[in-house]
Structure 1
Amino acid sequence: MDVETRAQSFETALRRAGVRITRQRAALLRVLAAAEDHPDANQLHTRATEAGAGVSLATVYRTLTALEAQGVIVKLEFEGESARFEPADGLHHDHMIDVETGEVTEFMSERIERLQAEIAAELGFEIVRHRLELYVRRRK
């Protein structure tokens, strides 16, 4: 999904939630829609400020909370890190988090997906949803 379409979907979700779309909030939505990483609230605040939006950190938090409640973004809470966010419109994927740098790498493995389903079935379950986080360190 392109940045403008994603920003528009965020705006639509906020309007559904009864949130007023101010100039600052619209700029924040564009910054969030353009993010190719997994930014936290402070990073989004900094980026929005650098883009010329005089948005407060409190507005960033309120906006993220409303977007999460509407199901258009996902809040990621990795160990020892502040909460990060990503759009909920992508395909299922898992995350590797570098414990030294905090860098997050998305990955998808059909082998892992099959194995998880097999294990759940062997134990008499089916997977409804899951999240896999691998905490990694680059080999020296």
Structure 2
Amino acid sequence: MTWEQLVKLGCQLPEVEEGIWFRTPALKVRGKSFVRLKEDGESVVFLLESVDEQEFLIQALPELYFITDHYRGWPAVLARLSKLRVPECRRRLEQGWRLKAPKTLVKQREAPRGPPPRTSPRGRSKRSP
């Protein structure tokens, strides 16, 4: 994956825009950064809910996730872009977004979009009157 591909995925989340965080490209929701490109251009910083999650991810997927001393003890993890795949990227972006987005925006995203259309026994949808 490239940073540009990650940005494209991240911008699918509500109110996400590109910005700068610690002098590197980042994604923000309402001005709050939730992922950034590292200075090496080959890895990104994802925010996490806890340090325990950081340790779990590094142990479970050491080829993808790692930290430097700077991030030890902080709820964040580094990911190698070259090893990052779309489903995992979406999961981490959504998590970081939820951590930084206002609660009202998160609730809007979680709100049901209405009931699915009813279907007849033959599988055709019926319109409600």
TM over 0.5: no
TM-score, scaled to structure 1: 0.28
Higher normalized contact order (CA 8 Å, seq sep 6+, divided by chain length): 2
TM value normalised by structure 2: 0.29
